[in-house]
Structure 1
Amino acid sequence: MRAPLRWVLWDVKDTLLRVRSSVSEQYCDEARRVGLSLGPAEVDAAFRRAYGHHCSRFPNYGVAQGMDGKSWWTAVVKATFSHCGVRDPVLLTTVARNLYQNFGHAKNWEVFPDSKSALVSCTSLGLQLGVVSNFDNRLEAILCACGLRAHFDFLVTSEAAGVDKPNAAIFDQAIRKCGVPPGSVAHVGDHYVNDYVASRLAGIHGFLLDRKNDSDGRPVPREHRLSSLDELPARLKKHMDECS
């Protein structure tokens, strides 16, 4: 008999909420506030270059190199605007500080319409909820601002954990917080490798959220794939009924 389900772990970005407008648009808006005129295409290319470089050289917010989320994002923003030809150190510092603060506010995030109802339904099934996210330590404040924090018993961010998904160690930390075997835990996320494959390898019941239905060709059984979070409670209840 399978272990009874007790917990559901959640990814956050692009699972429960998403950035309200594109990063390049928000960077351009902030640039205008300090008197800079930059085009979205230019900023987008510069951001991708800066972000890719820092992810490669200083993965997981540079925690292993003694950085934190704030210093890491400050460096990314400064590099982005430097690639756009901004050289004034005062302007670079101001824009970086403002953008770091801006992305900690609810106005820059959009909660998906099916998120809150799915969380409530899972709790109604008697399940406890936690978060496992490749996010910096602003996550708790963002979830509070977006009205989601109260649904979760704990949060595990990759910055605090010192390791990010798909590394099994971050799931191990979450499982220890749950206090149950991996087989009593489910996980929901939108990333095939980081969320679905990694959680399954950790012994967790992983579900892949595929809102765009673009995961064809990947070896994901139909019963593990969700096109909406509205489908999750029924899947979990079925699993729980089979274990009773």
Structure 2
Amino acid sequence: MAMRTKIARSLLGTALFSTKTQRFASGSGTRYGSEVHAGSLGSFWSSFSTSAAAAAEPEEARLGTTSSGVETGLFGMLKEYEDYRRALYGGLTHKALLVDAAGTLVAPSQPMAQIYRQIGEKYGVKYSEAEILNRYRWAYEQPWGRSRLRYVNDARPFWEFIVSSSTGCSDSQYVEELYHYYMTEMAWHLCDPDAEKVFQALRKAGVKVAVVSNFDTRLRPVLRALNCDHWFDAVVVSAEVEAEKPNPTIFLKACDLLGVNPEDAVHVGDDRRNDICGARDAGCDAWLWGSDVQSLKEVAQRIGVQA
């Protein structure tokens, strides 16, 4: 059964990925603050799209289909696949939902550069918000020691580097004020106002729920500050498990904590590389926030839960 599920998901995921590649080709990003940090996947998606289109063209010509016809067929396959999973799991497509934190569950209430500048004024920061943002992006792209792990424990050394590089100010009091600000309810808000109702409905229906996030150890205080930490069966933080998305380890750890197999879980996140590719490499299903699904209510409905 697990093998049939894996093969079906792989075939369907590949087909859907090909049809969506062109709309993704503007580039990839990981959300830091409220900005999109430009990645290096644009050329990859562009070349993948071209190759996929070239491979698909003879088949479309032979069948006399149009691109809209192909997409209609793929969404028919999606419905058939989800119906198949509901038959397996008693009306549900998945036994567990994994959800990304920043950019999916929560978002910064103000742009990062604005906060860095406002708090930094009393410490002598003179850079404009545009300058801070550009310097921040540069700093985030720099190699971090000999490890790919940026968020280790409380990640203070990393954030000290980011703040001083972004603003030109290395005052320890400034760094600490910024660091603590991003641990409070003032800094964050829930992306979906229906989140509590949806997560309650999912758990009532027997779906286990976990947060899976590239974050330092402040994530738990952030969730407590927003009074939403009790919504989840598990919170899996990269700084604690020493594995950052897209490393499959973090997704496998979440499944282990929830007591489900990876093929029984679906992950929802806003980053194509970290969330979608990482989750699929771990053997989970994955839906892109803002594209595959637009709200948590839609997530629940696709799983088979009315919220």
User: Alpha-carbon deviations, 1:150-207, whole Å to 9, x = none?
Assistant: 0112111111111111111111211211222222222111112211222122221222
SS in 2 for 1:163: coil
CA 25–56 in structure 1, closer or farther in 2 if over 3 Å, else same? farther
Question: Helix, strand or coil: the match of 1:106?
Answer: coil
The answer as to whether partners of 2:151 and 2:216 remain within 8 angstroms in 1 is no
Q: Which residue of 2 aligns with 1:175?
A: 255
1:52 paired residue number = 141
Distance 1:121 1:192 in 2: 27
- The one-letter code of the counterpart of 1:96 is V
Deviations for 1:21-48, whole angstroms, at most 9, x for unmatched residues?
Answer: 1110000011123344431112112211
Q: Could you tell me which residue of structure 2 aligns to residue 94 of structure 1?
A: 173
Question: Which consecutive unaligned segments of at least 5 residues does structure 1 have?
Answer: 214-224, 239-244
TM-score (norm 2): 0.64
In structure 2, what is the equivalent of residue 23 of structure 1? 112
Name which of 101, 106, 110 aligns with 1:12: 101
Contact between 1:11 and 1:195, CA under 8 Å: does it hold in 2? Answer: yes
* Distance in 2 of aligned mates of 1:136 and 1:193: 19
Task: Give the corresponding residue for 2:182.
Answer: 103
Alpha-carbon spacing, 1:59–1:201, altered in 2? closer, same or farther (3 Å): closer
Answering whether residue 203 of structure 2 is matched by residue 136 of structure 1, we say no
> Using the alignment, how far apart are the partners of 1:36 and 1:10 within structure 2?
36
| 1:151 has 2:231 as partner | yes
Aligned mates of 1:54, 1:74 — CA distance in 2: 15
Q: 2:279 aligns with which of 182, 196, 199?
A: 199
The Cα shift of 1:118 comes to 2.4
RMSD over aligned CA atoms reads: 2.1
Q: How far does the alpha carbon of each residue in 1:64-97 deviate from its partner, in whole angstroms, 9 at most, with x for none?
A: xxx7512211221122222xxx4xx5xx212111
Moved more, 133-142 or 107-116: 107-116
8 Å contact 1:31–1:38 — kept in the other structure?
no
Q: Aligned AA for 1:190? A: D
Q: Does the 8 Å contact 1:54/1:76 carry over to 2?
A: no
- Give 2:166's aligned residue: 80
Question: Which shifted more, 164-173 or 136-145?
Answer: 164-173
- CA drift of 1:58 comes to 5.1
Which residue of the other structure, out of 277, 294, 305, is the alignment partner of 1:227? Answer: 294
Contact 1:209 1:229 in 2 (8 A): no
Which gives a bigger RCO, structure 1 or 2 (Cα 8 Å, sep 6+)? 1
Does the aligned pair in 2 maintain the 1:6–1:184 contact within 8 Å?
yes
Paired residues in the alignment total 215
TM-aligned CA distance change 1:232 to 1:42, over 3 Å: same
Whether the 8 Å CA contact 1:128–1:153 is kept in 2: the answer is yes
Distance 1:116 1:80, change over 3 A: same
Larger Rg: 2
What does the per-residue CA deviation read over 1:198-228, in whole Å, with 9 as the maximum and x for residues that have no partner?
Answer: 2122221222211xx4xxxxxxxxxxx1022
Quick check: 1:125 aligned with 2:205? yes
SS in 1 for 2:266: strand
CA distance in 2, matches of 1:132, 1:30: 30
CA distance in 2, matches of 1:179, 1:158: 19
TM-score, L = length of structure 1: 0.80
Unaligned runs of 5+ in 2: 2-84
Code of the residue aligned with 2:303 in structure 1: it is L
Give the AA of the match of 1:111. Answer: L
Q: Equivalent residue for 1:221?
A: none
The equivalent residue for 2:66 is: none
> What SS is found at the alignment partner of 2:107?
strand
